[in-house]
Amino acid sequence: MDITQNPCREFVTVLASSAPTPGGGGAAALVGAIGTALGNMVGSLTAGKKKYADVEAEIVALKAKCDALQTELLDQVPADAKGFEPLAKAYGIPKDDPDRDKILEEATLTACAVPVRIMELCCESLDAIQIFAAKGSRLAVSDAGCGAVCVKAALQAASLNVFINTKTLKDRAAAEALNKKCLDMLDKYGKLADEIFETVKAGFFK
């Protein structure tokens, strides 16, 4: 079931319940989509304005990119729930089953895949938001800053949904490779998000 088709209030109610999904990964994907949309709104308010004619083509192309990012981030909400299903089932396998460890290992790697993808999409989003903040309508620059904050939160939240699983992997080489990939994204794009926020904030005190 794609819970993104449900009303916002229902999504939040289910999120707060004991239901296994949606959880942190699904919430991260939704927040990432919201943050991306905030940046995209700046593009919508910039495109077609004479004042910004010199960046029109770049903004229009960026808007199309963000349209796709929003869609894919929303798609990660049900994908995250689906990716968690094998792990939930694997935990129920009796401990004396000789295949349990192998099945659990494979299911854990599957559960990591969507949160990693959410992080990758958030990185692409922040690259776009940086441009919207720098070149988009000054009347909506605060929305670019808000978008950066939301996408950073999504990036961080998704990473925790990777780290909780890599901790239990028996294949430590695979675990460390996933951890490094996520830590590198957190470092580079966490800093970028902070830079966007601080630049936007500073502009209000000039």
The CA dihedral of 51, 57, 62, 68, to the nearest 10 degrees, is: 130
Cβ 30 vs Cβ 89: under 8 Å: no
| Cα–Cα dist 122/27, whole Å | 13
In a domain, 8, yes or no: no
What's the distance, CA 71 to chain centroid?
12
Average pLDDT taken over every residue of the chain: 96
Residue 85 lies in a domain: no
Does 106 reside within a domain? no
pLDDT at 3: 83
Residue 39 Cα to chain centre, angstroms? 14
Give me the CATH number covering residue 126. Answer: 1.20.120.680
Provide the token pair at 84.
């968690």
Residue 30 is part of which domain span?
24-80+112-203
Angle (CA) 113-117-120 rounded to 5° is: 145
Q: Is residue 94 part of a domain?
A: no
Number of domains the chain is built from: 1
Q: Which residue has the higher pLDDT, 38 or 20?
A: 38
Count Cα neighbours of 22 within 13 Å in the Cβ-side half-sphere.
31
Give me the pLDDT at residue 1, please: 63
Give the C-alpha separation, 160 to 187, whole Å. 14
Alpha helices in the chain (DSSP H): 8-16, 24-46, 56-91, 100-135, 141-166, 172-203
Q: Would you say residue 9 lies in a domain?
A: no
Please name which of 176, 204, 50, 69 lies closest in space to residue 129, comparing C-alpha atoms. 69
pLDDT of residue 66: 98
| Phi/psi-derived region of residue 28, left when phi > 0, alpha when psi is between -120 and 50, beta in every other case | alpha
Kindly state whether residue 184 falls inside one of the protein's structural domains.
yes
Residues 96-150 have pLDDT tens digits of: 999 999 999 999 999 999 999 999 999 999 999 999 999 999 999 999 999 999 9
Assess if residue 117 is contained within a domain.
yes
